[in-house]
Amino acid sequence: MIDTTGVTDRLAGIGRLGVAFSGGVDSSVLLALATRALGADRVIGILGVSPSLAADERTAAHEVARHIGVPLVEVTTHEQDLAAYRANGPDRCFHCKDELFTRISDEVVTAYRLDAVAYGENADDARRPDRPGARAAVAHRVLRPLADAGIGKAGVRGIAHALGLPCADKPAAPCLASRIPHFTDVTPAKLRQIEQAEAGLRRLGFTELRVRHHGELARIELPPGDLLRAVTDPVRGRVRDAVVAAGFRFAAVDLAGVQSGAFTLPLVTATHA
């Protein structure tokens, strides 16, 4: 297994730790390593729940936490009440994470006698310019043991496999709000449409996907290996039916495939150019 002593060293001396947890591979690896280092009785996972979290992701997070053997505490976040979040600029993720870490500080730290809170940023994500949520973590003094130990995404996957985590091969699953173009309002109705459309596509066997919300049009991103199946009958009609049932009028399959940071990266790259 990849050397994880750097993570263990960064957790040394912490009495009780809360891990901001999504059920994705990064936060799952951090939660598992923290449990090994500190003991299951000194670690909790903390899941932020809001309309931007798909129901399937919420269920999966609880399953992974049970596998690791630690309690998972849910905290309701209210980023939708923030005008800056709804405005959906390139810094939307900052406002979301700021809300999450504020709720954790106000509602969880004292109740569970936590000495520190950590989150699963890895070293690769720490170098990306389209991760404004990291600023919120710094502001709230949230630890990032994986990134500080120099463990990138490939290393995280390797650790997850070595630990036998059920999410080891899980594709990245950013929040539903990331499917809405910047400077277009984030609303609960749009988030429900996206969640319903993506759930319908998963029932057709597509495991890695994004449904980008462009008004009446749903732009579907799939890995290149899934594109032909998606546009070939009889699946083609079922793909359209799933999207229309979610409230869209049109369905388009994007030939560029799945694109991480599709909306945010071009804007922040231009800003830093």
pLDDT in tens, 2-16: 789 999 999 999 999
Q: Which residue has the higher pLDDT, 83 or 263?
A: 83
Would the pLDDT of 1 be above 50?
Answer: yes
Going from the C-alpha of 182 to that of each of 20, 92, 211, 216, the distances in angstroms are 25, 8, 15, 16
Domain boundaries, the chain: 5-163, 176-264
Query: Any idea which architecture 5-163 has in CATH?
Result: 3-Layer(aba) Sandwich (3.40)
> Is 0.75 surpassed by the pTM of this model?
yes
Q: Is 45 helix (H, G, I), strand (E, B) or coil?
A: strand
Would the pLDDT of 272 be above 70?
Answer: no
Structural tokens at position 176: 């539903």
Q: Is 227 helix (H, G, I), strand (E, B) or coil?
A: helix
| Residue pair 163/122 in contact by the 8 Å Cβ criterion | no
Structural tokens at position 89: 């600029």
3-state DSSP: the chain helix, strand, coil percent, rounded to 5? 50, 15, 35
DSSP secondary structure of 53-89: S-HHHHHHHHHHHHHHT--EEEEE--GGG-HHHHHT-
- pLDDT more than 90, % of the chain: 89
What pLDDT score was predicted for residue 173? 85
CATH topology of domain 176-264: Alpha-Beta Plaits (3.30.70)
* 20-77 pLDDT tens trace: 999 999 999 999 999 999 999 999 999 999 999 999 999 999 999 999 999 999 999 9
Question: Per-residue confidence at 130, pLDDT binned at 50, 70, 90?
Answer: confident
Structural tokens at position 188: 């609960």
Query: How far is residue 83's CA from residue 58's CA, in Å, rounded to a whole number?
Result: 25
Our CA dihedral for 235, 241, 246, 248, rounded to 10 degrees, sits at: 110
* 151-184 pLDDT tens trace: 999 999 999 999 999 999 998 888 999 999 999 9
141: Cα separation from own chain's centroid: 20
Query: Residue 77 contacts by C-beta under 8 Å, 6 or more apart in sequence?
Result: 48, 49, 50, 96, 99, 100, 103
Q: Which residue has the higher pLDDT, 172 or 243?
A: 243
Query: How far is residue 264's CA from residue 273's CA, in Å, rounded to a whole number?
Result: 14
Stretch 104-127: mean pLDDT, rounded? 96
Greatest distance between any 2 Cα atoms in the chain? 59
Q: Tell me what the pLDDT averaged over the chain comes to.
A: 94
- pLDDT more than 70, % of the chain: 95
